[in-house]
Structure 1
Amino acid sequence: MCRNIKTLFNFDPPATEDEIQAASLQFVRKLSGFTQPSKANEAAFQLAVQEVTAAAEKLLSTLVTNSPQRDRKIEIERARIRSVKRFGPRES
């Protein structure tokens, strides 16, 4: 479940609100063990996602680094190459 959370800091372009919210949702899913909470837990689940999103946004806005920003397109291509090396080429 949590393997889908990607690094969001120090990218050009910066992480979007949707990316931060998606990572927060994955985090709360991992912590709770629910992919879909029951009706009884839905409010607590959604509140947790909102609070984690706010904390993540605050964290990303206050972090500093001396490293140059990474290009999102280059990182995606590197990940694709690693995937091909590990699993072989995708068959259409």
Structure 2
Amino acid sequence: MCRNIKTLHNFDPPATDEEIQAAALQFVRKLSGFNTPSKANQAAFEEAIQEVTEAARKLLGSLVTNAEPRNREIEIERARARNAKRFGTADE
């Protein structure tokens, strides 16, 4: 589950609200052990997602670096190459 949480810092353009919220959702799912909470836990689950989203947004806004911003397309290609090396490709 947490493997889906991607690095969001130092990209150009910066991470979107949707990306930050998706990472927060994955984090709360991992902590709670629920993919979808019961009705009794729904409010607590949603509140946790909002709080984690706000904390992540604050963190990303306050981090500083001297490194050049990363390019999303290059990072996607690197991930594909790593996956092809690790798992092989469908063409083989």
- Class of the TM-score when normalised by the shorter of the 2 chains: over 0.9
Trace 1:41-52 onto structure 2 (pairs within 5 A).
41-52=41-52
Structure-1 residue corresponding to 2:18: 18
Residue 78 (structure 1) aligns with:
78
TM value normalised by structure 2: 0.96
> What SS does structure 2 have at the residue aligned with 1:11?
coil
Q: Distance in 1 between matches of 2:23 and 2:55?
A: 12
Aligned to 2:56: 56
Code of the residue aligned with 1:43 in structure 2: it is A
What CA RMSD, in Å, does the superposition of the two structures yield over aligned residues?
A: 0.7
> What runs of 5+ residues in structure 1 fail to find an aligned partner?
none
Instruction: Choose between structure 1 and 2: higher strand proportion.
Output: 1
Give CA deviations for 1:38-65 in whole Å, capped at 9, x if unaligned: 0000000000000000000000001000
SS of match in other structure, 1:12: coil
Offset of residue 90 of structure 1: 2.7
Secondary structure (helix, strand or coil) at the match of 2:67 reads coil
Letter in 2 for 1:25: L
TM-score (norm 1): 0.96
Partner in structure 2 of residue 65 of structure 1: 65
In structure 2, list runs of 5 or more residues that go unmatched.
Answer: none
Letter in 2 for 1:50: Q
Q: How many residues in Structure 1 have an aligned counterpart in Structure 2?
A: 91
